Amino acid sequence: MPRYTLCPYFEYEYGKRITCEDVYRRFDDEQSKWSWMDMYCDSNWMSCPYAIELNEAYERLEKGDKMAVEEHKKEALKKELDSTAMKLGRVEKKLARTQKKLDEAKALNRSFIMKNERVEKQKRTYYDMWKSAVEQLQEYERRIDDQIQQLARIYEARIAYLMQTYADGQLWQKDVDEWLEENADFGIIADENEEQRLWKVVTKENESEEPDEPGRVQGTCSDGEAGKEEEVPEQADRV
């Protein structure tokens, strides 16, 4: 939609510019241009600084100064160029500051990338350490479980031997409970001799050979480690 103006010197407007009598004025933005046109071009054009200067130039022309208008246009053009140069200088300073901030941002980004790479490397290292620790723990638990199973098998064998040899293969739980009530502080100790290990049951009543820990079995294997089955004494009166 065309825009109607009252100023006789106005020619056209485009973008951020207004062209008047072969000289154009550049504004910082279109809103500033529209505000200028609302204030001068469309209404009070006689108050426009450029129109005032141009009127004076035409008055000098009427008085015989033929170069007044051309000189005025040159002067106006020079002023516009100077204004544009100043604006360009400000833009260059802004660009320099922006470039500086951009360089700083790039440096920070590189630093962040390097730190992130170090963190990722540490994460991989810690993960490998954690994985190795888990595997070691699982292997340790497996060995402990094997030792417990072997130890349980050793005592199952000893109990089975005693039941088969001295109780016709039968063991009544009530007999065990009754004996435990009378001999709560008991233990099984090993007596080393030249032939083989001799296992003995000691109770609180036996003052000469009290167990280190009542109710606990002492000396489970011949070599001091759980999980290795020991030889069962052949003579029944030594069990």
Predicted TM-score (pTM) of this structure: 0.37
What is the percentage of the chain residues whose pLDDT exceeds 90? 18
| Nearest-angstrom CA–CA distance, 63 and 134 | 105
pLDDT tens per residue, range 163-200: 888 888 888 889 888 888 888 888 888 777 766 778 88
Residue 62 has pLDDT above 80, yes or no: no
DSSP one-letter code for 210 = -
Position with higher pLDDT, 208 vs 30:
30
DSSP one-letter code for 184 = -
3-state secondary structure of 212: coil
| Contact criterion met (CB below 8 Å) for 200 and 208 | no
The sheet with strand 23-26 has its strands ordered as: 10-14, 17-20, 23-26
Return the pLDDT at 64. 63
pLDDT tens per residue, range 151-162: 999 888 988 888
Domain ranges of the chain: 10-100, 172-238
pLDDT tens per residue, range 94-112: 888 898 899 989 988 999 9
pLDDT tens per residue, range 5-16: 888 888 888 888
- Helix (H), strand (E) at residue 172: none
Return the pLDDT at 68. 63
Return the pLDDT at 122. 92
3-state secondary structure of 222: coil
Residue 214 has pLDDT above 90, yes or no: no
